[in-house]
Copies of this chain bind each other. A is one copy, B any other.
Amino acid sequence: MPELIAIDWGTSSFRAWLLGAGGAVLDEIPSGPGILSVPDGDFDAAFETALGHWLSANPDLPVIASGMITSRNGWVETPYLPLPLDARTLAHALTAHVTKRGRRVHFVTGAVRNPDHGLPDVMRGEETEIIGHLAASGAREGLFVLPGTHSKWARVEGGRLTGFNTCMTGEVFAILRDHSILGKLAGDGPLSPDAFLRGLETGRANGALLARIFSARSLALMDRLEGGEVADYLSGLLIGDEVAAALASARGAVTVIGRGDLAERYRVALSHAGAEAALAAPGMARAGLWEIAKLAGVIG
């Protein structure tokens, strides 16, 4: 028996699940249009196109969504919640939106740190993954990293999200590879774990990051790095710098919430830097959406 439609709708990604008792996955839509790929910003139509068969087969099923879909460029912009926050805070702050065809969608909003003073920071979507991990694992404390275009480092204390920090590592890697002089010497090549490890070493070193990244070019010019290794070296360098800075102000084990090659790179980088690192179970966005829907009374 379906009980909930849950959607993780990000800038460049879309995943949806049809969930049954206890949050069991009955069906899944593994991909769809990220918010930047929705023509004319017509999210209503994109929603109907992606989920139409589930919606018509289950006319009374509640729908919940999280991610950048609630940002300024998304469907419905919702205000950020200040820290600290937990699953219950997020559940109480759901924004209900009624689609053109009369369907109610419950939006989970994002979080803000330092809105008024110091350097602010924001997230939309990762808070739901963290909630999912806490619900699934029973953890109430910890340091978490969520790799991505913008990775998030999050601190949880007493079951509440108390702090976080965004690193633009993934995006900076991509633009350095695609648009800077470093990419000019980068050739295609198989994954090079050795070049990644060499990059991690340089990432941990002292000195300005803006100087250290130039070594991806100078090592190649000296024939000490092959073209096919430049990208993995640069990836290691940037992730190594990020991890070293995060560990300089934190202690204890780190849990990586993510999947695939990128999550594995962070796990390797953390171990390389001497930190205890674990990979969270997959499906944390889905678990978080279920937990928040439950606490909000959206599902019985």
- Identify the A interface with B (CB < 8 A): 72, 112, 115-116, 119-122, 150, 165-169, 171-172, 175-176, 178-181, 202, 205-215, 218-219, 221-222, 224, 238, 241-242, 245-246, 249
Contact = CB atoms under 8 A, between A and B. Distances in A.
A9 to B, nearest CB: 17
B180 A168 contact: yes
B165 A215 contact: no
B175 A207 contact: no
Nearest to A117: B224
> Ordered nearest first, which 9 A-B pairs have the shortest CB separation?
A208-B245, A120-B218, A119-B215, A167-B210, A166-B214, A175-B179, A167-B211, A120-B222, A209-B209
A207 B171 contact: no
Given A175-B180, A208-B246, A120 B167 contact: no
A211 B119 CA distance: 10
A245 B167 contact: no
14 contacts: A72-B221, A112-B222, A116-B222, A119-B215, A120-B215, A120-B222, A121-B214, A166-B211, A167-B211, A171-B181, A172-B210, A172-B213, A175-B176, A211-B245
A78 B255 CA distance: 50
A58 to B, nearest CB: 36
A212 B172 CA distance: 13
B150 A214 contact: yes
A112 B219 CA distance: 11
Of the candidates A166, A179, A211, A238, the one having the most CB atoms from chain B within 10 angstroms of its own CB is A211
A172 B238 CA distance: 13
A226 to B, nearest CB: 15
Given A166-B218, A172-B213, 20 more contacts: A119-B219, A120-B218, A120-B219, A120-B222, A165-B207, A165-B211, A168-B210, A169-B210, A171-B181, A175-B175, A175-B176, A178-B179, A207-B245, A207-B249, A208-B241, A208-B246, A209-B210, A209-B241, A210-B238, A211-B242
Contacts of A175: 175-176, 179-180
A224 B167 CA distance: 20
Of the candidates A72, A205, A214, the one having the most CB atoms from chain B within 10 angstroms of its own CB is A214
Contacts of A222: 112, 115-116, 120
Contacts of A166: 211, 214, 218
Nearest to A218: B120
Nearest to A119: B215
A252 B285 CA distance: 53
Of the candidates A119, A206, A213, the one having the most CB atoms from chain B within 10 angstroms of its own CB is A119
A210 B245 CA distance: 10
